[in-house]
Structure 1
Amino acid sequence: MAALLCIGVAACAKKQEVKPAPAPEQPAETAPAPTTGKYTPADLDTDACLRQRVVYFDFDKSEIKPEFQQIIACHAKYLQDRPEARMTLEGNADERGSREYNLGLGERRGNAVSSALQAAGGSASQLNVVSYGEERPVCREHNEACWSKNRRVEIVYTAK
């Protein structure tokens, strides 16, 4: 009986090595901008963050959603690293609202992205804002899923 008790105590006293779980990898869309090197024009096609060139908005809003802040930061760093780079911010709206209202909303959205890029280090001389309102939809169905795709600002590089 005493032997069994000793074996039981010894078995319970064993320490198990606990290995820390590996850190989860960040999705490619939110990969941080390079901190050591400078962006090059080739990075526009290879860097996961820079390939993201659309910022989506809520209905009737021009505030940038938090999930797009990293994209803004990447593009602002590119503008800092490449002073000769130029971009056009194309503001768009869904089909609801008058033509004039949607043109204004598209411009407000483009200006919001422009302001965010400047706040993150981009230069105003590198940015041009244009509004297409509801004139350039990427989806033509008449439902919320489609409208949400049309409420956007597209980042178009005109000089790399």
Structure 2
Amino acid sequence: MTIRNAHPKTALKLGAALLLAGALTLSGCAKKAPAELPPPPAPTTAVETPAPATVSGPTPGSQADFVASMMGQDTIYFDTDRYNIDNADAAALTAQAQWLMKYPGKKATIEGHADERGTREYNLALGERRATAAKNYLVSLGLDAGRLTTVSYGKERPVALGSDEASWAKNRRAVTVTID
């Protein structure tokens, strides 16, 4: 006889009996309290954990790191109408090459600049010769030429405004800028 075919009162009794049997079965599985409780945890002393070290300064390998490492040697300066590398320029370019060799995945652009005197075309050509001279020197120190590009801004991006020798001297330059 199944519960479905049984009389409603019988089905109710069978259902109640099944429910009671299930409850008794489950109550037998209940955990009993242990005879003795474990001891409480021992008091802990506060241990000071050092704070994680914070990196101060620029990210290694970044343009900011390059500029900070060069301490002003990211730029070389030229005499009027010149693009030759002198001893001071050679020292700056050597420092640049050492930094670039430390980061072999880094590329750089060398920007050539001129002062305001002369025509736009002349200054663009002079800026290109200055950037190329710096690039060639870096390549002679062992850098892969494929990592270096040049661009000339001529007299279009002066760092010093003024029509005097001090301003012109600051604008006759080649600047190395690292790129990703």
TM-score by length of 1: 0.69
Structure 1 residues 62-103: Cα deviation after superposition (integer angstroms, max 9, x where no partner): 001211212111211222232211111010000111100000
Candidates 107, 122, 127, aligned match of 1:106: 127
Q: Which residue is 2:118 aligned to?
A: 97
Structure 1 residues 4-43: Cα deviation after superposition (integer angstroms, max 9, x where no partner): xxxxxxxxxxxxxxxxxxxxxxxxxxxxxxxxxxxx5275
Q: Which residue is 2:38 aligned to?
A: none
Give percent identity, aligned residues only.
41
Residue 117 (structure 1) aligned with residue 138 (structure 2): yes
> If you compute each CA radius of gyration, which structure gives the higher value, 1 or 2?
2
Q: CA RMSD in A?
A: 1.6
Residue 73 (structure 1) aligned with residue 94 (structure 2): yes
Candidates 129, 134, 142, aligned match of 2:155: 134
Residue 44 (structure 1) aligned with residue 66 (structure 2): yes
Instruction: Classify 1:117/1:138 alpha carbon distance in 2 versus 1 (closer, same or farther; 3 Å).
Output: same
Cα distance in 2 between the residues matched to 1:146 and 1:44? 25
Structure 2: 5+ residue stretches without partners: 1-59
How far is the alpha carbon of 1:52 from its aligned partner? 2.1
Cα distance in 2 between the residues matched to 1:53 and 1:99? 25
* Higher RCO (CA 8 Å, separation ≥ 6 residues): 1
How far is the alpha carbon of 1:104 from its aligned partner? 0.2
AA in 1 matched with 2:128: E
Instruction: Classify 1:153/1:67 alpha carbon distance in 2 versus 1 (closer, same or farther; 3 Å).
Output: same
Secondary structure of the residue aligned to 1:87 is: strand
Aligned residues: 119
Asked if the contact 1:44/1:51 (under 8 Å) is kept, the reply is no
